[in-house]
Amino acid sequence: MRHGMATSELSAWDGWCTSQLKIILLGGRNSGKSSVGNLILGKEEFGTKERTSCSRRLGMVAGRWLTVVDTPGWWCDFSSQDTPKLVKREIVSSVSLCSPGPHVFLITIKARSDFSEKRRRAVEEHVMLLGEGVWSHCMVVFISADWSEHTGAKEIVRRGGEALRWLSDKCGQRCHSVISSRGTEVTELLEKIQELVTGNGNRVFEMQENILQATAEEKRRVEERAQQRFVRMRKHRSLMRDRSRPITNIRIVLVGAKGSGKTSALNTILSRESSQRVRRTAQCVVGTGVAFGRQVTVVDTPGWWMNYFCEESPVFDRRQLVLSLSLCPPGPHVFLLLIRVDRAFSETYRRAAQEHLQLISGHIWSRVIVLFSFGDWLGGTTTEQCIESEGEPLRWLVERCSNRYHVLDNKNKGDGFQVRELIGKIEEMLAGCNAGQHYEIEREVMEQLEGKMRREEERAKERVARKEKQRQMARSQLEKLAPLPELRIVLVGGRKTGKSSCGDTILSRECFHTGTPTTSCSEKRGNIRGRTVAVLDTPGCFSVTSDLLVASCAILLVVNVSSSFRNSHMEAMEKQLEAGGGQMWSRAAVLFSYGDWLGDTSIEQRMESEGAPLQRLVEKCGNRYHVLDNKHRDDGAQVYELIKLIDEMLVKERLAILHRGDHMWKSVSSRDVTLRKKDVEMLRSCRQQLSHDLTESANPTTQTSPNCSGGPDNGGQVVALPAGRRGRTGLNILDRDSFMSCLASTLSGREALRWTLNLPVCFPTDDLHLRLNGERRLFSSRHPTMLLVLPQTQHKMRIAEENGISVHSLCHPALRERTLGRLTESGGLQALIDQWDDSHSLEELEAFIDSYFEMIWEQAMGSVQEPEAECPTAEWDAVVEEEAGQKEVLTSIDRKLSKLELLEEIRRDLAELRTSLGHSWKAIQELREKSKQDDNNTR
């Protein structure tokens, strides 16, 4: 009564057995749905084979009748749009098998499986086919194989992460854990189901009647059309069979999308067993064998992405399709177009298949048979039902091939009947061909293609040799430096290039959202062989600016090696980096994602075949490139190799900074310029002001008077940097190497940099030496120090002198009035700073700076009397005494300096100075450490 009960009998049974509990099982393929159903019913009612239609069983459990419906599963990582329409239709139809509706839906998940965000979305989309109201009737069931895997439901949810917690919350935290081999947990599961039913007021889940009726009507029409197609196919085969003749040598070319099962089909046709790890076919492969008395040659070709049109596929892959013809001379008899029967077939997939086949020839369709792979998935569903269910795109493709199709079950090869049927269909097709027994190859085209590929292989070898030579030179230089303790990697590229997956591979964990587009920057850190590595994932078309280029920073331009790279991609990459200027390319390398796509080919072959845009990108990055296989991470060797490449890329810049620092130190220390009387007075005044600040620091209401130099910010100090030998009056820089390396780094640019910052400066009472360390008192944050760094720019000096303004003109009080007017006309202080060169002494430079700020101060005060050039102390003291008007005076100073566009430039350059200081300090420390090691080795 339970197993063989007819539908009409079950409906009657449902009507008078009011205590019956109705359950529907939902879940992905291999999720354990059938096992849970058998566990509930206490016997093997559901087979574990694939099915594409619902299966219903009845049973008596604990004195209560149960109706359990098992539904077809979906691929766990597929969205609902990738699931065949017949499966989605069956999920909806399952409700009609529990009239008037089910009490509960059990969502089954294997307890030991990783429940990713992609799987969560798959569950959500497929359950939502039944409507939003279904969630109040849902419960999650975790199934384990044995006690060793068994864990409580709450613990599984806790360890499962955010995605599993979302599902638990969506189901009202109704979860249970069972073991497939034991039925002791069934009673507790039924108790929880009863709690759910009671909580819903004993109401069943009901779908709108019109939806169920429309689904049933669609299923009826599909079965009618399927029967008509089957009859038409049988009739055509019968006609061709009478005309066909056996062929002793059959040549076959397999074509299809990536993952369509071409390699498995080759093994099935040739009766091969393969124990090797499945990898993508990157180049054409030829197999030969004997099948039912025929010599069979089968050519396997590289596949394309199902949703990629022809122009989006790499050039290398497109060429391989054309080259396949020459591998089975004098030409193939048939092309088998592989289509997965377990996946939806959209219009995009149809167009992709059409365009890639027409690469070979526009007249190819007369020799094409649609070969459906993954035939085991069909279960009891016929091929014709699958074709008619899927809709117009698949029907168009089958009709384009004159209704020729076949199904291969690569899992259950049986006695070879399916291969014998396939050979028969090939011979029948050839009987109807009017163009001869095989496809004719255009010899001239093949020769040109083969010659082009040989030349590309030669260039690929040259690129490899050039890259290795560059890396050897960089490694020899890297030996002079200590390893960088920390690296920062910025991933840049367009959408769908695999940036997030590369970030996960580099850090060896899932930390970026790979299933959804990256919409904002995200930085994660990890440890790679004792080194801290920070990875910044950026959105597509993200503009990289110079503020991202901190010390030890590398830019990786991510390129999808499984896709074509055209001029538009190159232009987008250049636009992303142009915001940071030309310096970006010296820190950039190309990172190829989807490394598994390469198969047994080299990345150099791909670069040379892809053409000028990709080659230009690699050359702009100094021929630096690397490949990541994000599917097979192995032991992390590919990531370690990437880190080594980054180290080699940064070594040139690190050495250049150290070289500039040493050169600048020698240049400065070779001069012997003493402080003038005015400088001494300035330093004394600053020392007195500092002492006053420290004394009054406890009184926050005390107003600060202007300092001795009239700096750009309220209470600021201008610190001059005259050279002086160590031990003599002048600047005593305790950390000479670090400071001069930093100074060299900043002076290497063309433009002058002016910074406002709080330098750790203190004045000892026994001399006038300026110490750059943090051991004693620091200037108050209310009194920032202004540091002027003056480059040597001959060109701008000549321009200023042509306007009648020179450094000497500011060193003579009689010319100041005339100079001040021309100062405004010629571009202000910057133009005068830029004219400074080695022909002027530092003494003249100090006079120039002092005189300039005196003039700015006089204008702010509205003074008509020119102060003495040698001693402006009296004017400063007068200002100090006028405390009541101090606020207005300082505001006036800021306003004047803002007009000269000095203040804003100072603030903008602050961040760059701090970055350069940190970078230089690390570089000096590395050099010292290396020097110590060399000394120890020498001893």
- pLDDT tens digit string along 4-18? 333 333 443 343 344
593 pairs with which residues across the strands?
A: 560
Query: If you write DSSP's letter for every residue of 244-281 in order, what string do you get?
Result: ----SEEEEEEEEBTTSSHHHHHHHHTT----SPP---
| Per-residue pLDDT at 767 exceeds 70 | no
Give residue 815's pLDDT band: very low, low, confident or very high (50, 70, 90).
very low
Indicate the average pLDDT of the chain.
Answer: 77
Of 930, 931, 913, the residue nearest 551 (C-alpha): 913
Contacts of 688 (CB under 8 A, 6+ apart): none
447-476 mean pLDDT: 94
Handedness of CA 638, 643, 649, 651 (dihedral sign): negative
As a whole number of angstroms, the distance between CA 400 and CA 335 comes to 13
In angstroms, the CA 360 to CA 324 distance is: 9
Mean predicted confidence (pLDDT) in 528-540: 91
The percent of residues above 90 in pLDDT, for the chain, comes to 48
Q: State pLDDT tens for residues 60-78.
A: 988 889 999 999 999 998 8
483 pLDDT more than 90? no
pLDDT digits (tens, 9 = 90+) for 882-928: 544 544 544 554 444 444 454 455 555 656 666 666 777 777 777 77
Residue 407 has pLDDT above 70, yes or no: yes
Across the chain, which distance is largest between two alpha carbons, in Å? 121
pLDDT of 235 > 80? The answer is yes
Residue range 158-167: mean pLDDT, rounded: 92
Between the alpha carbon of residue 572 and those of residues 162, 314, 576, the distances in Å are 35, 18, 6
The closest of 233, 266, 269, 270 to 428, measured between CA atoms, is 233
CB 686 within 8 A of CB 726: no
Question: What does the block give as tokens for 675?
Answer: 């402080």
The answer to which of 200-204, 205-209, 722-726, 869-873 has the lowest mean pLDDT is: 722-726
Give the per-residue pLDDT at 81. Answer: 94
Cα–Cα dist 906/918, whole Å? 19
Q: Are the beta carbons of 147 and 179 closer than 8 angstroms?
A: yes
Pairwise CA distance, residues 593 & 434, whole Å: 46
Q: For residues 561 and 742, give the distance between their C-alpha atoms in angstroms, rounded to a whole number.
A: 41
Report cis status (omega within 30 of 0) of the bond before 329: no
How many angstroms separate the Cα of 562 from the Cα of each of 118, 318, 565, 597? 22, 12, 9, 6
First to last CA, the chain: 95
User: Residue 529: left if φ>0, alpha if ψ -120 to 50, beta else—which one?
Assistant: left
Q: What is the bridge-based pairing of β-strands 334-340 and 285-291?
A: unpaired
Cis amide prior to 84 (ω within 30 degrees): no
Q: State the CB neighbour count (10 A cutoff) for residue 405.
A: 22
**Chain Cα centroid distance, residue 80:** 25
Residue appearing with tokens 């010319």: 815
**Number of H helices and number of E strands within the chain?**
30, 23
Q: Compute the average pLDDT of residues 353-359.
A: 96
Neighbouring CB atoms inside 10 A of 307's CB total: 12
Residues recorded for the chain: 939
For Cα atoms 463, 466, 468, give the angle at the middle one, nearest 5 degrees: 110
- Concatenate the DSSP letters of all residues of 751-792 into one string: S-EEEEE---EE--SSS---EESSSS----TTSPEEEEE---
Q: What is the pLDDT of residues 295-350, one digit of tens each?
A: 999 999 999 999 999 999 999 999 999 999 999 999 999 999 999 999 999 999 99
Higher pLDDT, 116 or 866: 116
pTM of the model: 0.70
- The residue that leads in pLDDT, 180 or 394, is 394
Q: What pLDDT, on a 0 to 100 scale, did the predictor assign at position 415?
A: 66
Among candidate residues 850, 857, 855, 852, the one with its CA nearest the CA of residue 871: 850
CA-CA-CA-CA dihedral for 907, 908, 912, 913, to nearest 10: -20
Using an 8 Å Cβ cutoff, are 655 and 481 in contact?
A: yes
For residue range 657-697, what is the model confidence (pLDDT) as tens digits? 777 655 554 554 444 344 444 444 554 554 455 445 444 54
How many other C-beta atoms can be found within 10 angstroms of the C-beta atom of residue 723? 15
Q: Between residues 834 and 433, which one has the greater pLDDT?
A: 433
Question: 529: which DSSP letter?
Answer: T
Distance CA 103, CA 198 (A): 10
688-707 pLDDT, tens digit each: 554 454 445 444 443 333 33
Determine contact, residues 791/747, Cβ cutoff 8 Å.
Answer: yes
Cα dihedral value 728, 729, 734, 740, nearest 10: -90
Parallel/antiparallel/unpaired status of strands 531-537 and 486-492 = parallel
DSSP letter string, 611-673: -HHHHHHHHHTTT-EEE--SS--TTSHHHHHHHHHHHHHHHHHHHHHHHHHHHHHHHHHT---
Domains contained in the chain, CATH given: 7-207 (3.40.50.300), 225-441 (3.40.50.300), 456-475+482-658 (3.40.50.300), 671-789 (no CATH), 791-870 (no CATH)
Mean pLDDT value across residues 380-394: 94
CB 700 within 8 A of CB 780: no
179 HSE (CA, 13 A, CB side): 12
Higher pLDDT, 580 or 366: 366
